[in-house]
Structures are given as structure tokens and as C-alpha cells.
Structure 1
């Protein structure tokens, strides 16, 4: 639960899931199935962590979760199933005065007591957390948009980070990825299901806009101009993305190459979509209907 996968007897894929707070009710229903019906799931797949942040966290910089679930309840759930809990504190625009935020500090203190981690962008916040909460583990956020492989490799080599999430455009750089040492490979956490336009040049500005708005400040006025951006997220579109990592890719390419950590995005989506991600990446096709039935299907329910 400390975020470190040691002494693995056989290669496995460890998944890092979205919506720690927002999808609490979904995980409350899903995790007992995951524990009690392991025959439903791929033998090589495990849940390593669930990430997120409560509503109105100043240090948040990703997509904002809306939830009134108490932090203690969330941690009780993850502790029960030996899953690491991570705070998404990836705001890139923090200033020194923001470090005194009471809510965020209380969360860090609580998560430190529960062997949790923090997904982080700001170097200022990184330095602060390492001094004040040294037992939290750190994850370098994909919001840094490190599209140059050498920049990404330098990030991996930093001792401050237990994991590093590369930009999804590096997902298929196999010629360079395979040359990494095993110690470096163990720190890489691939973002599997990104739907963003592969050719986007403004991804970093998009994240900066979210960070400014989360601080209650005027942003840089960035508006996404990617093709079909107004259509929103769809899993089918993500599957067509050149950076998409499929179940087959994980099993036949990444795990044999020595990579074991995979991040699923989706904090701003609905619980039904998150369930589809869980089914696709972790549940054997013949058992997916069993999981759906246990969670929400009602044979008397009319959808239309």
C-alpha cells in the first residue's frame, strides 16, 4: 500500500485509478467484487492506487472532483483493500502564500498517516511537502507535459519521485523505452486512455488554465482548439488515439518489456464510464456482465 511493488513473483500490471473521492460509491461496490471474485479478473492485473482530491482543494490542478465524502471514509475504504490513496495536487501555479492552505495541509497530514502519496507538479510544493510531510511518496504529474524523451528520462532519474507519469505521446517510444534500466522502468506510470488530440501543441497551456482557475485567478484565456474538442471524452475515440494502450499492449508489450504501472484517467467523467474502464482493463470479457449485474443492473429497470 506504500506505492512500491517489491518482490513480484511474476510480471503483473498495477493500475492507478481515478476518482478517489468522486467515485467513492462506485469503488465501495466494486472493490468487494475485486476481492471476492478474483476469477472474474485477469490474473496479471491488480489495483495499486486510487487518486483524486476533494472539492475546493487549492493545490488541485487537474480536473476537479465534486464530492462530499469525508477523507477518513475514503481512507478506510482503501486501507481495507490494501490500496494506496493519492492526492492530486498538481497545480502548476502555486505561490508561497498558497502553501499555508489549511485544508490541503490537513489532508497531507492525514494521508501521510495512512502511507499515501501526492501527484505533484509544482517544485515549490514538492520542496514544502518533503520537509513537512516526509513520509508521503511523490508522483511526478503528466501535467508537466514532458514530450521530449530526454526530459522525461531526467525526471525518472530524480530521487524525489517514486513514479513519473510521462506525456501520452511517449507511450509508444519503444526503441527508447526498452533501453531504460529496470529500476527506471519500475518508476514509469503510463497514461493509458488519453483522448486528447495526439498533435496538440497547447496541452500544457490547458493545464495551466485549470490551475489558475482553481486558485480563483484570471487564467491565460486558453481555449482548446483541438479537432472535435466540443464532443468531449469518448472511450471509443480514445482507443483510436496513437498513444492509446490496450489490454493486449499491456500484456504482450509493456509487461514483457519490464513495465508494470498503468494510469487510467477519468476524474471528470461519470461513474458508468469509469466502470467501463475497469471492465476493459481488469475483467475477463466473459465475466464483465457479472460485474455489471452485481453493481447496477436491475432486470426491472427501463432506461428509456
Structure 2
């Protein structure tokens, strides 16, 4: 597959880190043990907007023209990241979401100040409507993951991990459209990037099997955050390398990992954020000192 758009690199991640520093939180790294095994947990759910998506949104907005209204599409977290970034930076934003968007995420997008438009039954349908709306003068479309500036912004998360604990040898992240995993590859150096997906949202795994991005069916407890039907072109180009390990987990494993995060650490995250922990619990994350990214907590779920 030939990629016509320029790929971001490690220098772009470093530039993004400097650009977004005044607007995002440097989230903590928890050095922990589970069943006698040491792991690192990147507590990104403590980020403004409740997920890592703010990083890419802030970087992309600042890297582009400042006088345009931002339009995007999202299953929830990217939209909330864009809405929050737009509010912080003083620009207008409209977020298209599928009609199946969780109410908690929709409510938070509107509370952040963006205009919310519900359209279609899937992220793909919402994205098509958003791109059409963004074609009007004075508007700009901001992709959720298939964008160099977005990927570089997401890579700042892994850059923080490496800076805080250079001995980490694997970084496990959840994969939807692939922006976070692609950014992780850029910042991880020689470390393994473990790209974790639910069996029911396997856009990257399907692309690696086919040798190119392909459409997939979506059916998972984590689909509101990881429900991209096709991996991004730029993320795929960065993730189809030997430094990346593609891993699948079941919905039951995700639920169990989410519950265990609460039992062990009193951390309440959305299902997507528990997927790296699920992979680690199942023995599918390599390394003597892996870091698991808990990427978001935009959920109304609370333990009984």
C-alpha cells in the first residue's frame, strides 16, 4: 500500500509536546504490583476531557489555521477532546456523533461548549456527514486518527512514559482507528508497542491479515470508543512493523479487567481503557516492565 500523505516522526512528537504543554495535563505513572508481578499504569483517564484524545486535538488545532470553525466526527472521546480543546483555544466546534453515542459522552461534549449533531447509526455515517459539513467556507475538518498532527499529539503520552521510566520495555494501548498506537510507535523507540483490540472491534488485526486497511464489523462492549470500522491509512503505515504486536481480547476479559482495576486500585475506567490490562492479565503483553495505558474514563458506569 502506497501512502501519499507524509508520515509523522519522533521529531513531530517532540514538537507536539512543547506545543500542547500549556493546555494538557502530564498524567501520572503508577508503579504497581498485581499478583506479585510489577506493572506500570499510565493514568491517562485523569487527562482533561477524560481521555488522551485532548492531546491530538490540541496539537492539530494549534498546528493549523486558527480562524476556522472545527468540525469533527466521533464515537464520543475524540469529540469531547475536540470540544475541550476548542474551548481552551477559543475556537468554535461542531461534533457529529452516531445516534448510538453513550449519553454520558454526548452530555459532556455539549457541556464543553461544542455543537452536537447526532447523525447515522455508525461512526462512518457520522464522519461522512461531518466531512460534508466541513467543506463549507470557514470550516475545517479535524480527523479522529488519520492525521499526522493528531498522531503526533497522541504520541506525547508515550513520550511521557519513556521519560518517566526509561526501563519500560513494552507499552500496551487500546486500538480503535489507530492514532494512539501509531503515536506510541513514534515515541517508544526500540520498545514493543502492544496494540490491543476487542475481538468485536479488530480493525488493525483485520488490516494486518489483509495487508491493507479493510472494513470490519463492530460488536463489542468497547465499541463506543474503539468502534472504527477501518484502521486509518497513516496509523496502518506506522503499525505494520515488527515493533508492533497485535493482540485481541474478549469482552468477558475486558469486563473482568475493568472490575479488577476497581478492586485493586479504585480506578473506574470505560471498557476501552481496560483492554490493555485485559491483555496483560491474559499473558499477552511481553516484557519485564510493561506499561499499560488506561486511556479514558468517559463512562457513567460505577461498581455496585
Give TM-score scaled by structure 2 length.
Answer: 0.28
Give the structure with the higher percent strand.
Answer: 2
Give TM-score scaled by structure 1 length.
Answer: 0.28
